[in-house]
């Protein structure tokens, strides 16, 4: 997954930076909040139940986005797309991890560590001497 952002127009929350659409950000935030209420860890069954309820439009929540600010909204999101566009990218970026032995999804701080690593790699690149360039004369 590629994260693109504009340093002069940063979104108010991390979900706006990570996900391409507002809807994906809302669903991801909802999943994170759900996991937080369950000690930051849920099983495969709970994840599947959450995805099914989302697919069936059975989840009602309050959204803080401008058109819906403060109102209760019924959310619906395709189950397959939930796994493809929300869960899988969150796993690959280190926001959540799946424990194969316990069969659980868990929130992690690996994303933060990876962002720090990227920042350190950029600092090293700044210190590296430039490569010699040979420009062809016309």
pLDDT in tens, 92-127: 999 999 999 999 999 999 999 999 999 999 999 999
Distance CA 53, CA 51 (A): 6
Q: In this predicted model, which residue has the larger pLDDT, 50 or 13?
A: 50
Largest CA distance in the chain: 67
Given a cut of 90, whether residue 63 has pLDDT beyond it is: no
CA distances, 40 to each of 16, 37, 104, 109 (Å): 21, 7, 10, 11
Q: What separation, in Å, do the N-terminal and C-terminal C-alpha atoms of the chain show?
A: 41
Range from 7-21, 43-57, 80-94 carrying the lowest mean pLDDT:
7-21
Given a cut of 90, whether residue 6 has pLDDT beyond it is: no
Residue 133: the pLDDT is 86
Element (H, E) at 105: strand 104-107
For tokens 């395709």, the residue is 78
In the predicted model, what is the mean pLDDT of the chain?
93
For tokens 């709970």, the residue is 46
Element (H, E) at 79: helix 79-81
Given a cut of 90, whether residue 59 has pLDDT beyond it is: yes
């Amino acid at each position: 997954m590629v994260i693109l952002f504009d340093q002069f127009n940063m979104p108010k929350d991390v979900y706006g930076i990570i996900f391409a659409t507002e809807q994906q950000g809302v669903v991801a935030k909802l999943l994170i909040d759900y996991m937080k209420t369950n000690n930051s860890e849920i099983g495969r069954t709970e994840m599947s139940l959450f995805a099914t309820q989302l697919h069936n439009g059975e989840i009602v929540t309050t959204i803080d986005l401008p058109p819906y600010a403060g109102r209760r909204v019924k959310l619906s999101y395709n189950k397959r797309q939930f796994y493809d566009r929300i869960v899988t990218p969150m796993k690959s970026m280190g926001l959540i991890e799946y424990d194969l032995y316990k069969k659980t999804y868990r929130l992690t701080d690996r994303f933060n560590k990876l962002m720090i690593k990227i920042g350190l790699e950029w600092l090293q690149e700044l210190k590296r001497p430039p490569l010699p360039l040979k420009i062809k004369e016309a």
